[in-house]
């Protein structure tokens, strides 16, 4: 359950060594994001749910960028209402000089993606929505303490954020995905959590989109997720012509538990809405015929190539082995390679131990520490105060809640 680099999955350590994390202030908002893949390709921007960070999409960033797609993944910034979110996101896009985007949003991220598509129709070219909703009234109803969320202590917020996730025994891949997300939630500050809960509870709904249904893919998991089925059904009813790329299983975080299937669906979606991958632009890619070879079968050579090259490599370039592959056939290779990478990286991390955490990571944690120290005092006093006051308030809420139910 504990987060941090040490217990992180091997392919995540590899990801951190390959893909730089960006942190920039834009206006009053701090943006934390990854941006990887050829800059000429219109990006797929991943928006996480309430319990996610930009990091939860690392498997998509790794796999799709190697196939020549540009993937951006962001932390939801600290916005306290929908309009603030829309304006902040627009400024972010302006700053990183991106105009037309494709959005992949899960849960709260899917809701925010739809809002942005509604209010900035010219920028959003397509949507992939996963386990999401079109209105938040049911959340605001179940969170009567929303008005004081800004003052609630972090542990209560964390508990609430993680409350919908099933904690019964799970199949290992799903269990691992939950562990990873929980470790990410541990890195979030009280303000981050409070703003997201406020966004979720900010009773609002998505209006009609200009985007045709044919540019929307719905990627719900069919087994279990925290988003109630009735809300997911509303999304289906809203976009009757959308493509239904359902997954049989995967739980709340299929991008972590079923990465090969999710990546396949994302690729099919991008192809359908006309985004062309540029595998030829991947640094370190072999130049021979990488553009034209898309119809040739690649007969299993990738495994051999990949492992031999990758073992030598340390950190400079993404592995070129996959990049030579046809843009659309390699659904499998992604998964194979990912598996291989997992194995290899597990080996690698054994070898290097903890000494090789990437430089970015270090500075990130140092910054964090400084911040934490100064914030700690404030938090302690604040939380002490609130802990004393909260029972009173909550008592009131449950009381009024009960009255309402009756």
Partner 1 sequence: MASRRRMLLKVIILGDSGVGKTSLMNQYVNRKFSNQYKATIGADFLTKEVQFEDRLYTLQIWDTAGQERFQSLGVAFYRGADCCVLVYDVNVMKSFENLNNWREEFLIQASPSDPENFPFVVLGNKIDVDGGNSRVVSEKKAKAWCASKGIPYFETSAKEGFNVDAAFQCIAKNALKNEPEEEIYLPDTIDVAGGNQPRSTGCEC
Q: Which chain residues interact with partner 1 by CB under 8 A?
A: 171-173, 222-224, 228-230, 233, 243-246, 248-249, 258, 260-261, 263-264, 268, 271, 294, 297-300, 326, 328-336
Are residues 47 and 104 in contact, defined by beta-carbon separation less than 8 angstroms?
A: yes
Residue 265 CB, nearest approach to partner 1 (Å): 9
Whose Cβ is closer to partner 1: residue 118's or residue 263's?
263
Whose Cβ is closer to partner 1: residue 263's or residue 349's?
263
Residue 126 CB, nearest approach to partner 1 (Å): 16
The interaxial angle of helices 301-312 and 331-352, nearest 10 deg, is: 30
Among the listed residues 323, 402, 347, the one whose alpha carbon sits nearest the alpha carbon of residue 11: 347
Whose Cβ is closer to partner 1: residue 132's or residue 198's?
132
Residue 230 CB, nearest approach to partner 1 (Å): 7
Residue 249 CB, nearest approach to partner 1 (Å): 7
Among the listed residues 235, 248, 237, 244, the one whose alpha carbon sits nearest the alpha carbon of residue 265: 244
Sign of the torsion formed by the C-alpha atoms of 54, 58, 61 and 64: negative
Secondary-structure percent of the chain, ordered helix, strand, coil, rounded to 5? 55, 10, 35
Whose Cβ is closer to partner 1: residue 84's or residue 331's?
331
For Cα atoms 107, 109, 110, give the angle at the middle one, nearest 5 degrees. 65
Among the listed residues 25, 23, 41, 42, the one whose alpha carbon sits nearest the alpha carbon of residue 33: 23
Residue 222 CB, nearest approach to partner 1 (Å): 5
Whose Cβ is closer to partner 1: residue 275's or residue 348's?
275
What is the helix (H) or strand (E) element at residue 30, kind and residue range? strand 29-36
Whose Cβ is closer to partner 1: residue 230's or residue 355's?
230
Are residues 190 and 154 in contact, defined by beta-carbon separation less than 8 angstroms?
A: yes
Residue 4 CB, nearest approach to partner 1 (Å): 26
């Amino acid at each position: 359950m504990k987060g941090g680099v040490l217990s992180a999955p091997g392919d995540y350590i590899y990801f951190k060594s390959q893909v730089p994390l960006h942190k920039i202030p834009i206006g009053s908002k701090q943006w934390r994001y990854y941006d990887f893949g050829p800059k000429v390709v219109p990006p797929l921007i991943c928006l996480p749910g309430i319990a996610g960070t930009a990091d939860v999409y690392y498997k998509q960033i790794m796999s799709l960028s190697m196939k020549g797609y540009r993937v951006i993944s962001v932390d939801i910034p600290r916005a306290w209402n929908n309009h603030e979110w829309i304006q902040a996101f627009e400024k972010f896009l302006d700053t990183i000089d991106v105009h037309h985007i494709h959005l992949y949003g899960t849960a709260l991220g899917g809701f925010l993606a739809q809002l942005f598509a509604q209010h900035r129709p010219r920028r959003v070219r397509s949507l992939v929505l996963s386990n999401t909703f079109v209105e938040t009234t049911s959340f605001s109803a179940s969170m009567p303490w929303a008005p004081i969320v800004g003052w609630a202590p972090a542990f209560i917020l964390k508990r609430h954020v993680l409350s919908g996730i099933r904690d019964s025994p799970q199949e290992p891949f799903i269990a691992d995905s939950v562990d990873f997300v929980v470790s990410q939630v541990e890195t979030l500050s009280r303000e981050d959590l409070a703003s997201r809960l406020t966004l979720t509870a900010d009773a609002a709904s998505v209006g009609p989109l200009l985007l045709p249904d044919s540019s929307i893919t719905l990627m719900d998991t069919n087994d279990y997720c925290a988003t109630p089925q009735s809300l997911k059904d509303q999304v289906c009813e809203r976009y009757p012509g959308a493509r239904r790329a359902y997954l049989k299983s995967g739980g709340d975080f299929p991008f972590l538990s079923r990465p090969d299937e999710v990546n396949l669906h994302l690729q099919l979606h991008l192809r359908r809405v006309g985004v062309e991958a540029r595998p030829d632009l991947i640094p370190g890619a072999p130049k021979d015929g990488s553009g034209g070879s898309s119809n040739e079968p690649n007969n299993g050579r990738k495994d051999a190539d990949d492992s031999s090259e990758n073992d030598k490599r340390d950190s400079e370039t993404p592995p070129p082995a996959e990049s030579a592959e046809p843009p659309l056939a390699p659904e499998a290779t992604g998964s194979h390679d990912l598996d291989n990478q997992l194995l290899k990286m597990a080996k690698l991390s054994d070898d290097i131990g903890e000494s090789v955490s990437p430089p970015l990571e270090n500075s990130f944690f140092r910054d964090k520490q400084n911040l934490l120290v100064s914030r700690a005092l404030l938090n302690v006093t604040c939380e002490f105060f609130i802990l004393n006051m909260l029972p009173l308030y909550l008592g009131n809420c449950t009381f009024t809640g009960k009255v309402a139910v009756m």
